[in-house]
Every structure is written in C-alpha cells, then in structure tokens.
Amino acid sequence: MDRFLLMTCFARAVETGSFSAAARDMGLGQPNVSRYVAALEDHLQTRLLLRTTRRLALTPEGERYYAEVRRILDAVTESESSLRNEAQPTGLLRVACPTALAHAFVLPQVPNFLSRYPGLALDLQIGDRYVNLVDEGAELAIRIGHLEDSALRARRIGQFERVCVASATYLARHGVPREPDDLRAHDCIVYTLLSSGSMWRFRDGEVPVSGRLRVNSPQAVQEAVNAGVGIAYGPRWLFDQGLGSGNLQLVLTGHEAPLVPIQILYVANRLLPKRAIAFMEFIAQAFSTIELLNASRASIAA
C-alpha cells in the first residue's frame, strides 16, 4: 500500500480532528481514511491515535510520529513547488503565538497576510503553553524572551518594556510602592504562566510577589488591575489603554528590567518552507511600524 497516502491520511486526521473531516478534505470515503490509518498503525506496530465517539487524540508515540510526518510532507510540497518554480508560497502554515500578543498585534495583520498570499492557509495556535517546535509540527513560534534552546534559531521582530501598574483607587487605599521590595507588602496579581513564576524582574534583581488573585490569562490581569484588585506586572502595551485613560498609573519607574525581545523561532536543522519565510518577512515588517513593539530606553525616558 502507498505509504505516502497512509501518512497523508494520518496527518489530515490529526489536523482536522476526525476521519470524516479528513475524508472530505482528501476526497476519500471515511471508511477508507480510517482503514488507511489503521494500516499505518499496523505497519508501525504502534498505536498512534486514541479513538472515542467524540474525537481523536494522539498517543505520545503519535505526537512524535506526527511531527516527523508533517516535516516529510512539508519537504515534499516545498520540493515540488521549487521544481514548478512557483512564485507564491502555498500550503498550510502552523504558527504558535502567545495569547496577548496574538490578540493585540498578530490577528489584526492576518487579513492582509492571507490576502497577499491566496494559496496559503494559516493555523495560528494561540496560547501561552510552551510549544515544542521539534516535536509538535508547528513551523514557527512567536515567543517573548530570550532563546534558550540550541536546536532553534531566532529572528528578533521587536522588543518591549515590562512595567508595574496599579489603579489610582488601589494606590489611594494601599499606598505607592517606592522600591521593588515594597511589593512584598502589596496585593499583587500573579500571572501563573509567567516564565519566572511568582518572581518579578527588575533592574537590580528579582522580587517574590504574592496576592489573593492568580490567573492564567493576560486579559484577566488587565481587567483585574483596572478594577483595582492589586498591582500588575507585564508588557506596557497590555496596559496602554488604562494608562492612556488615567485609570492606571505606572509604579516603580526607574527600576525596570532590561527590555524584553519578541522573536520568531524555527528549528535550525529543518528545511524552512517558503510560506514560513513569507510569514516571517511579513510580520517583521508589520511589527517594525508599531511603536509599542519597538521600545528603547531613550524613548521611554523621553
């Protein structure tokens, strides 16, 4: 049996979430897709998918195999495109992106991107969970912070300042912290997916914080600080509206940590498809025009 067909059926079943959706996508009957995936599992002597009445779920072995299958299928598509000398990128591009950054800056650029490249589809995986590019099949990840994985390469597309803010009503009730250590006595809104955990970074080091509210959503941090729940810490652009209206005030100015880079990451030893290069160029250009994503200490001081 054609192993390439089996691999394609498996990949589309994973990406569409069901055998029936994969069958419609490929123009095959649903029983055929199910049979082809079962044949692939039989060939590998490994269970790749857990089947329930509601959905398909990858086994750990299936996750690893899917990443390799996706790489192979993408390489074939890219090679064929090169031989046909196609000028425009085509296919499905998977990009992982943090929640707040996606909603504030990436999603507004998507209509123009898709309009510019009509042969391309975008799977934008929005979330603050760490996505392993090597194992999970995404070609690109937009990440906040410095690169720590030697298997990846990075292109910087912006940088921003992390700040502490609080509402005027909160500061009137509890006072204004003057030094980072003063935060120990304040109600801090803890974002549980922050890479440094409950440690907030400042120019001279880190300070442990705590508070009565812990959330796993940047939007929840934004809403809570505007409601006067406590002191928040995060990208300046997350609080820009509240600062502009006067509802929020900056605190601990002069103690800010170094600027935080925004980077697009990709796997170093993997062929980068034309569609991924097109996305990187497009987003880098778009971000270069956004002042909030191109902070400098000189502009902040001014």
What pLDDT, in 10s, does the model give residues 170-210? 999 999 999 999 999 999 999 998 877 899 999 989 999 99
Taking the C-alpha atoms of residue 29 and residue 34, their distance in angstroms, rounded to an integer, is: 9
Which helix or strand (DSSP H or E) is residue 2 part of?
Answer: none
pLDDT surpassing 90 at residue 285: yes
State pLDDT tens for residues 11-70. Answer: 888 878 888 888 887 888 889 999 999 999 999 999 999 887 677 888 888 888 888 888
Do 97 and 125 meet the contact criterion of CB atoms below 8 Å apart?
yes
CATH 3.40.190.10-classified regions of the chain? 87-153+260-302, 162-251
- For the domain made up of 162-251, give the CATH fold: D-Maltodextrin-Binding Protein; domain 2 (3.40.190)
Any idea which fold 87-153+260-302 has? D-Maltodextrin-Binding Protein; domain 2 (3.40.190)
pLDDT over 80 at 93, yes or no = yes
Q: What is the pLDDT of residues 60-75, one digit of tens each?
A: 888 888 888 887 887 7
Locate 120 and state its tokens.
Answer: 């391309």
Q: Residue 223 is encoded by which pair of tokens?
A: 């809403």
Q: Locate CATH 1.10.10.10 in the chain.
A: 1-86
Average pLDDT over residues 77-104: 78
DSSP secondary structure string, 42-108?
HHHTS--EEE-SS-EEE-HHHHHHHHHHHHHHHHHHHHHHHHHT-SS--EEEEEEE-HHHIIIIIGG
- Share above pLDDT 90 across residues of the chain, in percent, rounded to a whole number: 49
Least Cα distance to 142 among 150, 151, 70, 154 occurs for 154
* Fold that domain 1-86 belongs to in CATH: Arc Repressor Mutant, subunit A (1.10.10)
- In the structure encoding, which two tokens stand for residue 202, read together? 């400042």
